[in-house]
Copies of this chain bind each other. A is one copy, B any other.
Amino acid sequence: MDDLPIRILIADDHPVVRAGLRAVLETEPDFAIVAEAATAEEAVELAASGGADVVLMDLRFGGGMNGSQATAAITARPGAPRVLVVTTYDTDADTLPAIEAGATGYLLKDAPPEELAAAVRTAAAGRTALAPAVADRLMNRLRAPHTALTRRETEVLALVAEGLSNQGISERLHLTRATVKSHLAHVYAKLGVDSRTAAVAAALGLGIIRR
């Protein structure tokens, strides 16, 4: 197709993963790994300097900016490289922000090398490359839009997941117990559950809240 190689930037805080991606991708004659970044900030900087066509982006870095934020920062610029998210985690809490941030694709790290190479070529061409598992969940998400919690509802739910009582939540958020109960009632309806603990379980499963 193209005489020029696809220039790749690898962004991951794990040295082992960087080495692995490099080893896997270097076997492809039309790929050129031009840089590596160990932090999200570094990835943004290197991507801005314009030497890459595709950025392989991890989502979780040790500290500071995360992969979704970095993706948003990279894709915001005109003429930006494509961002292909490559991560271990496939919950909605990871995928949705990344996709909103403008990621061209989303792969899981257990993908076989051929799939990885194919995804890089797909992304370089500007087309979307999604892992089957991710694609499945996105479809389910679109089919069941009831899970869309509001900001406040998510906030309350997160405190519930920390083990706070309605009283404790009302104090933390400067609300009355009535308001907290009202928010929770909406959360239960949207998640199809009928108790705080079940809501936490469901939300963890859906990736709405974390840990």
Q: How many residues of A contact B (CB 8 A)?
A: 39
Q: How far is the CB of A166 from chain B (nearest CB, A)?
A: 11
> In A89-111, which residues have CB < 8 Å from any B CB?
109-111
The residue in A23, A88, A112, A161 that gathers the most chain B C-beta atoms within 10 A of its C-beta is A23
Please tell me if A20 contacts chain B, counting CB pairs below 8 Å.
yes
Which chain B residues lie closer than 8 Å to A76 at the CB level? none
The residue in A110, A193, A204 that gathers the most chain B C-beta atoms within 10 A of its C-beta is A110
A112, B62: Cα distance in complex, Å:
13
A201 with B162: CB separation less than 8 A: yes
Please tell me if A14 contacts chain B, counting CB pairs below 8 Å.
yes
Q: Which listed residue, B22, B88, B200, touches A23 by the CB 8 Å rule? A: B22
A195 with B165: CB separation less than 8 A: yes
Please tell me if A205 contacts chain B, counting CB pairs below 8 Å.
yes
Which chain B residues lie closer than 8 Å to A189 at the CB level? none
Q: A23-B23, A62-B110 are in contact. Are A201 and B18 (CB under 8 A)?
A: no
Specify how many copies of this chain sit in the oligomer.
Answer: 2
Which chain B residues lie closer than 8 Å to A13 at the CB level? 110
Q: Which listed residue, B20, B193, B197, B205, touches A17 by the CB 8 Å rule? A: B20
B20 with A163: CB separation less than 8 A: no
Q: How far is the CB of A76 from chain B (nearest CB, A)?
A: 28
Q: How far is the CB of A10 from chain B (nearest CB, A)?
A: 11
Which chain B residues lie closer than 8 Å to A211 at the CB level? 204-205
Per-residue 0/1 for A158-187: is the Cβ within 8 Å of any B Cβ (1 yes, 0 no)? 001111110000000000000000000000
Q: How far is the CB of A190 from chain B (nearest CB, A)?
A: 15
Please tell me if A19 contacts chain B, counting CB pairs below 8 Å.
yes
Q: Which listed residue, B17, B19, B110, B202, touches A163 by the CB 8 Å rule? A: B202
Please tell me if A142 contacts chain B, counting CB pairs below 8 Å.
no
Q: Which 9 A-B pairs have the closest CB atoms?
A: A20-B20, A163-B198, A16-B20, A19-B23, A163-B201, A19-B20, A23-B23, A14-B110, A163-B197
